[in-house]
Amino acid sequence: GPKNLVILDRIENPTAIAELKALNPMVTVTFYPYDVTVPVAETTKLLKTIFAKLKTVDLLINGAGILDDHQIERTIAVNFTGTVNTTTAIMEFWDKRKGGPGGVIANICSVTGFNAIYQVPVYSASKAAALSFTNSLARLAPITGVTAYSINPGITRTPLVHKFNSWLDVEPRVGELLLEHPTQTTLECAQNFVKAIEANQNGAIW
């Protein structure tokens, strides 16, 4: 039952946005261009615009991620630094020490955060860092008023896993080998995601 859904992404996808609007006409869906690798100050500026328009924002989902161990700096920038920066920026509006109302953060991490795909150590480590960061956020909730939990999907059938590069090409067939394990569909992943949001359990590792 959300009133608003705001999508922040590098690339606008009008087809996906139209699909979301059709699912529930009662929800206002808006899009803003955003790259998670920008500095905190730039993110804060964008959030100021969003908060001015909506007045209340209840839930932030940090979901940006790339899987390509050839792109070391970008993997860390998107999967970890982006999560930290976006979270840091929203604290300006949510932190109860600044008179904010608090809020909820759901971070999409990965099972690789605690069970590495060793052929992609940079990706796995970036997700472990995001998971550790989320666990700390949850423990800081009494101070900040902001609760947090992580969703850690297993292998999900998305373009992300079809073909990707291993670190130093230690395993050229890593994408194929990964898909030999049990997988889930994006719909199954999304349905479980909704359960986690409904449970709204601070510190949970789903």
Active-site residue list:
123
Task: Tell me the sheet residues that pair with 8.
Answer: 32
Question: pLDDT tier at 163 (50, 70, 90 boundaries)?
Answer: confident
> For residue 77, what is the DSSP state?
I
Query: In angstroms, rounded to a whole number, what is the distance separating the alpha carbons of residues 35 and 30?
Result: 16
Q: How many CB atoms are closer than 10 A to CB 189?
A: 17
* pLDDT for 60 beyond 80: yes
In the chain, domain spans: 34-199
Condensed to tens digits (0 to 9), the pLDDT of residues 165-178 reads: 999 999 999 998 98
* pLDDT for 40 beyond 80: yes
What local confidence, expressed as pLDDT, does residue 159 receive?
78
Question: pLDDT tier at 161 (50, 70, 90 boundaries)?
Answer: confident
Which position has the token pair 């730039």?
42
Helix (H) and strand (E) counts in the chain: 9, 5
Matching CATH number, 34-199, of 1.10.40.60, 3.90.45.10, 3.40.50.720, 3.30.565.10? 3.40.50.720
CA atoms within 13 Å, Cβ hemisphere of 32: 15
Q: What is the end-to-end Cα distance of the chain in Å, rounded?
A: 22
Query: Which amino acid does the sequence have at 8?
Result: L
* pLDDT for 162 beyond 80: no
Strands (E), the chain: 4-9, 28-33, 59-62, 103-108, 146-151
Condensed to tens digits (0 to 9), the pLDDT of residues 90-146 reads: 999 999 999 999 999 999 999 999 999 999 999 999 999 999 999 999 999 999 999
CB within 8 Å of 118: residues ≥ 6 apart = 124
Nearest-CA neighbor of 124 among 67, 162, 71?
67
